[in-house]
Amino acid sequence: MRRTFLLSALVMLALPSFSRSQQPTVLAELFSNFDCANCKIADLTFEDYLSDKPKIVLINYHNASPSPSDPFFMVARQGRSTLYRSDFYAVSADPVAAVNGKVDVGSEPTWESDCTNAKQLPPLTVTAYKDAAGLIYVHVKNTNSIASAQRLNVALLESKIVKANPLAQGVPPSGVWDNIFREMLPTPDGYLFTPTGNDEYTYHFDPTQDDVNLDTWNPDNMQAVAWLQDDQGATKKVEAIGTVSLANLPLGGSGVVATPNQPVPALRVMGNPSGGHAQFWLTLQSPANVRLTLSDMLGREVRVLNNQRLGEGQTSVEMNDSKLASGCYIVRMYVDGTEADHAKLVIE
């Protein structure tokens, strides 16, 4: 099943016990590709440089250039309708690194120098927990007084991934891929807001579901990285950062309410569909026109499941269609004409 992101920004009224990680002070973003002959040595050298520097957090993104079939890129991009991270920096060639938002193309020694000389970032408090249903919650708290509008990004990363690569870059000597970017919360573009110095948000997702490429994620090898970034000017500088491990999370989740100024709708598939029967829960923060569609894996729309105005709160939509062939489908939720969420549906 496709990971269903309940793209909901929340305020914590009473925090339970959380999982916490060491506070990093520099954000290094690395862009590469499976089919990039120039990437392997530069990437491995940079990762080796960072291996004994826990204060520098690395996010390893994969691009579609030159090979659009890079499986890590496909996992992160599939089904999304907005910008990928490389588009944010206008990155069109690999390898590239961005340190605290400063981009340098193809020069690994410069990346190290950028890290050494980078501004030490103030902290974001990032915590995580899970609920009884297995949903994972990532809570971000900002106490920094920052004047300009910022984009809050929460990136989910996974390490210890075993994946063959027959193309130019090959497989790392360790045999596993680390710090691989999986998804951005609450949307691929993050959340744009004006910090007040006392901001709290919680984003949550379902780790029990697979993405559309059946590439299962393992939360025990995952972490969430949150950062504030100024994207209003040319510098795109990062202003604050924090991380949390998603392994062995405690139970929590009480006292959570929706943030009133960010009405983000959500879609969730309930149960294990079979025989063309499925149930969907749609959550709205305010009344809206909702169109719910079913598409095959080639993107062709095969059913319209709902097309009417729905009220605030949760609404259940059922599908009973024995004529649907077994296989994988994508359910898309459009709110007032804009795609707001989607999920993978497997009909057995």
Q: Are residues 314 and 342 in the same domain?
A: yes
Scan for tokens 């890290």, then name that residue: 115
Tens digit of each residue's pLDDT (9 = 90 or more) over 174-184: 899 999 998 88
| Mean pLDDT across 264-292 | 77
Closest by CA to 3, choosing from 299, 209, 290, 302, is: 209
Q: Are residues 102 and 189 in the same domain?
A: yes
Q: Are residues 88 and 141 in the same domain?
A: yes
Find the CATH number of the domain harbouring 330.
Answer: 2.60.40.2550
| Mean pLDDT across 60-64 | 87
**How buried is 67 (Cβ within 10 angstroms: 0-12 exposed, 13-18 middle, 19+ buried)?**
middle
Copy the structure tokens of residue 215: 């590439």
Alpha-helical segments (H) within the chain:
39-50, 71-77, 85-88, 108-117
Tens digit of each residue's pLDDT (9 = 90 or more) over 93-113: 889 999 999 999 888 999 999
Residues above pLDDT 90, as percent of the chain: 29
- Residue 19 is classified by DSSP as B
Q: Are residues 249 and 295 in the same domain?
A: no
Cβ(94)–Cβ(32) below 8 Å: yes
| Mean pLDDT across 1-15 | 35
Find the CATH number of the domain harbouring 211.
Answer: 2.60.40.10
Task: Give the domain extent around 295.
Answer: 266-347
Domain end call among 200, 224, 258: 258
Q: Are residues 82 and 217 in the same domain?
A: yes
Q: Are residues 203 and 311 in the same domain?
A: no
Q: Are residues 247 and 321 in the same domain?
A: no
Which three-class secondary structure state does DSSP give residue 104? strand
Q: What is the pLDDT of residue 50?
A: 94
pTM, full prediction? 0.69
**pLDDT, greater one: 132 or 237:** 237
Q: Are residues 211 and 270 in the same domain?
A: no
Scan for tokens 């894996």, then name that residue: 297
Q: Are residues 57 and 137 in the same domain?
A: yes
Which three-class secondary structure state does DSSP give residue 45? helix
* DSSP calls for 301-313: EEEEEEEEEE-SE
Q: Are residues 202 and 327 in the same domain?
A: no
Q: What is the pLDDT of residue 20?
A: 52
Whether pLDDT at 87 is above 90: no
> How confident is residue 212, by pLDDT bands cut at 50, 70 and 90?
very low
Closest by CA to 16, choosing from 160, 168, 175, 139, is: 139
Whole-angstrom Cα distance, residue 225 to residue 154? 5
Whether pLDDT at 54 is above 70: yes
Domain end call among 237, 258, 279: 258
281-286: long-range contacts at Cβ-Cβ below 8 A with a sequence spacing of 24 or more? 281/314, 281/315, 281/316, 282/306, 282/310, 282/314, 282/315, 282/316, 282/317, 282/333, 283/6, 283/8, 283/313, 283/314, 283/315, 284/310, 284/311, 284/312, 284/313, 284/315, 284/335, 285/258, 285/312, 286/312
Cβ atoms within 10 Å of 94's Cβ, excluding its own: 25
> How confident is residue 163, by pLDDT bands cut at 50, 70 and 90?
confident
* Total residue length of the chain: 348
Q: Are residues 226 and 276 in the same domain?
A: no
Domain end call among 222, 242, 258: 258
Rounded to 10 degrees, the C-alpha dihedral 208/211/214/217 comes to -50
> In total, how many domains does the chain have?
2
Q: What is the pLDDT of residue 79?
A: 44
Q: Are residues 134 and 189 in the same domain?
A: yes
How big is the chain by its Cα radius of gyration, in Å? 20
| Listed range (24-33, 236-245, 254-263) with the worst mean pLDDT | 254-263
